[in-house]
């Protein structure tokens, strides 16, 4: 259920769930923890958390809190913990990969949720800590690793600028046939596919470094190549969401992409995303050339594209966050111990014991059926 525009935040959720109003502990404040907001901390993960904090701020009071580098414009975690006792009306959101286990320990006794982007960091979560996964891939990972923890799917949102300024009309030929962003691109794309595409006569731009207007760059490109599988496999963690292919689609590009991890959320090969690195080099080369020369034959229909992009609009994601906050409130007000998952070792031992018991039962059955 979506709250009316006139009423939002905790008050709206109490109206939507009047049965919970007497005991519900709606967050009066949501705090997103980030290591810092400048210098080496600037990256896609920080941008997403800042955007999410801004989106959630339209539902209830929200703060960014730093914990490694102080910022004059934001609270610092050490100060908050030293000066404030645990408050059930403050919800802490942790997200920064390898820092998550330590942050959860420091926040012991406080309401905390894990905003999960990439996965495979190897840590486990305490029972009862909710997971807000940004992709089905990450959701499935935690559905296996922490199946009794509360799990929610809350995808990331495209920044409005991509939907507002992205050129999806495709009325004229674009000056860049193929666009590649060097960061995260595989050796296969940069060292083999790009030279071959250039040799075939296509205009290929490899973007390196800072660009003032990425929307304009994508609007001037016909085909976009994104192959992050080597980058993430080399780091041992996953592609958490994969915004660049969505941004390219919002600008009318034909997208060829690896389908690793969360990229598979965005559509199967031949639909929203065409698989890059598909079986043979010659097959890749032929398809990218064909898409650059006749992009209309490779683009999604306007209706399918609008549906895909609409599912990642800030308006829809704000509704999703409102629903999740409502469920977190109801969860916090419920009574009793958290559900726990048996360890993998215990489950494997039980499985082996069951197999042994089946063998024993069969042998006992054979013995009992033997004539005297």
The answer to whether residue 290 is domain-embedded is yes
What local confidence, expressed as pLDDT, does residue 296 receive? 92
Q: What is the pTM of this model?
A: 0.84
Quick: pLDDT tens for 145-204: 999 999 999 999 999 999 999 999 877 899 999 999 998 999 999 999 999 999 999 999
What local confidence, expressed as pLDDT, does residue 347 receive? 76
Note whether 111 and 172 are same-domain residues. no
Quick: pLDDT tens for 202-237: 999 999 987 889 999 999 999 999 999 999 988 989
Do the Cβ atoms of 31 and 65 come closer than 8 Å? yes
What local confidence, expressed as pLDDT, does residue 282 receive? 96
Local confidence band at 25 (pLDDT 50, 70, 90 cut-offs): low
Q: What is the mean pLDDT of residues 358-372?
A: 70
Q: What is the mean pLDDT of residues 302-327?
A: 92
What local confidence, expressed as pLDDT, does residue 156 receive? 92
DSSP state, residue 99: G
Note whether 153 and 180 are same-domain residues. no
In the chain, the number of structural domains is 2
The answer to whether residue 347 is domain-embedded is no
Quick: pLDDT tens for 39-93: 788 887 888 999 999 999 999 999 999 999 999 999 999 999 999 999 999 999 9
- Is residue 371 over pLDDT 90? no
Give the whole-angstrom CA distance, residue 276 versus residue 290. Answer: 14
Q: What is the mean pLDDT of residues 313-323?
A: 94
Note whether 169 and 121 are same-domain residues. no
Q: What is the CATH number of the domain that holds 275?
A: 3.40.50.2000
Note whether 26 and 166 are same-domain residues. no
What local confidence, expressed as pLDDT, does residue 3 receive? 33
The answer to whether residue 20 is domain-embedded is yes
Q: What is the mean pLDDT of residues 284-313?
A: 93
CA neighbor of 71 nearest in space, from 101, 41, 44:
41
Q: What is the mean pLDDT of residues 335-350?
A: 81
Give the whole-angstrom CA distance, residue 250 versus residue 305. Answer: 8
Note whether 329 and 293 are same-domain residues. no
Q: What is the mean pLDDT of residues 112-134?
A: 95
**51 CB neighbour count, 10 Å cutoff:** 17
Do the Cβ atoms of 158 and 247 come closer than 8 Å? yes
What local confidence, expressed as pLDDT, does residue 372 receive? 54
Note whether 81 and 151 are same-domain residues. yes
Note whether 172 and 231 are same-domain residues. yes
Note whether 41 and 144 are same-domain residues. yes
Do the Cβ atoms of 93 and 32 come closer than 8 Å? yes
Quick: pLDDT tens for 253-277: 999 999 999 998 886 545 789 999 9
The answer to whether residue 358 is domain-embedded is no
For 124-139, give one letter per residue: b (16+ CB within 10 A) or e: ebeebbbbbbbbebbb
Secondary structure class of 72 (helix, strand, coil): coil
- Torsion sign over Cα 323, 271, 137, 349: positive
Task: Name the β-bridge partners of 223.
Answer: 178, 254
**370 CB neighbour count, 10 Å cutoff:** 6
What local confidence, expressed as pLDDT, does residue 363 receive? 79
Note whether 182 and 209 are same-domain residues. yes
Local confidence band at 16 (pLDDT 50, 70, 90 cut-offs): very low
**140 CB neighbour count, 10 Å cutoff:** 13
The answer to whether residue 366 is domain-embedded is no
pLDDT exceeding 70 applies to what percent of the chain?
90
Which residue range is the domain that position 255 belongs to? 160-300
Task: Name the β-bridge partners of 180.
Answer: 206, 225
CA neighbor of 167 nearest in space, from 42, 7, 6, 305:
305
Note whether 180 and 138 are same-domain residues. no
Give 364 or 371, the one with higher predicted confidence: 364
The answer to whether residue 308 is domain-embedded is no
The answer to whether residue 260 is domain-embedded is yes
The answer to whether residue 368 is domain-embedded is no
What local confidence, expressed as pLDDT, does residue 22 receive? 37
Note whether 135 and 197 are same-domain residues. no
Note whether 272 and 164 are same-domain residues. yes
What local confidence, expressed as pLDDT, does residue 192 receive? 96
- Is residue 12 over pLDDT 70? no
């Amino acid at each position: 259920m979506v709250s009316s525009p006139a009423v939002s935040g905790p008050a709206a959720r109490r109206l939507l769930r009047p049965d919970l109003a007497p005991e519900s502990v709606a967050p009066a404040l949501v705090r997103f923890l980030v290591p810092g907001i400048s210098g080496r901390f600037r990256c896609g993960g920080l941008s997403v958390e800042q955007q999410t904090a801004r989106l959630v701020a339209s539902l209830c009071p929200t703060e960014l809190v730093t914990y490694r580098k102080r910022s004059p414009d934001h609270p610092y975690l050490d100060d908050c913990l030293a000066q404030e006792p645990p408050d059930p009306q403050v919800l802490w959101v942790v997200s920064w990969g390898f820092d998550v286990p330590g942050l959860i320990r420091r926040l012991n006794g406080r309401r905390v949720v894990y905003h999960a982007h990439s996965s495979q960091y190897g840590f486990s979560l305490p029972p009862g800590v909710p997971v807000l996964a940004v992709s089905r891939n990450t959701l499935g990972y935690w559905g296996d690793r922490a199946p009794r923890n509360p799990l929610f799917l809350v995808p990331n949102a495209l920044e409005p600028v991509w939907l507002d300024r992205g050129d999806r009309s495709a009325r004229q030929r674009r000056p860049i046939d193929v666009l590649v962003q060097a960061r995260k691109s595989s050796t296969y794309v940069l060292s083999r596919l790009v030279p071959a595409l250039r040799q075939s006569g296509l205009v290929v731009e490899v973007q390196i470094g800072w660009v003032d207007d990425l929307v304009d760059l994508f609007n001037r490109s016909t085909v976009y190549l994104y192959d992050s599988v080597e980058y993430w496999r080399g780091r041992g963690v996953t592609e958490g969401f994969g915004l660049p292919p969505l941004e390219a689609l919002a600008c009318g590009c034909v997208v060829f992409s690896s389908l690793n991890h969360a990229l598979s959320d965005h559509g199967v090969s031949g639909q929203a995303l065409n698989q890059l690195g598909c079986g043979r080099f010659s097959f890749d080369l032929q398809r990218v050339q064909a898409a650059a020369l006749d992009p209309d034959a490779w683009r999604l229909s306007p209706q399918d594209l609008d549906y895909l992009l609409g599912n990642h609009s800030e308006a829809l994601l704000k509704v999703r966050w409102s629903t999740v906050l409502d469920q977190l409130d109801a969860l916090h007000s419920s009574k009793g111990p958290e559900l726990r998952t048996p360890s993998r070792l215990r489950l494997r031992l039980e499985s082996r014991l069951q197999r042994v018991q089946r063998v024993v039962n069969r042998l006992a059955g054979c013995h009992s059926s033997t004539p005297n």
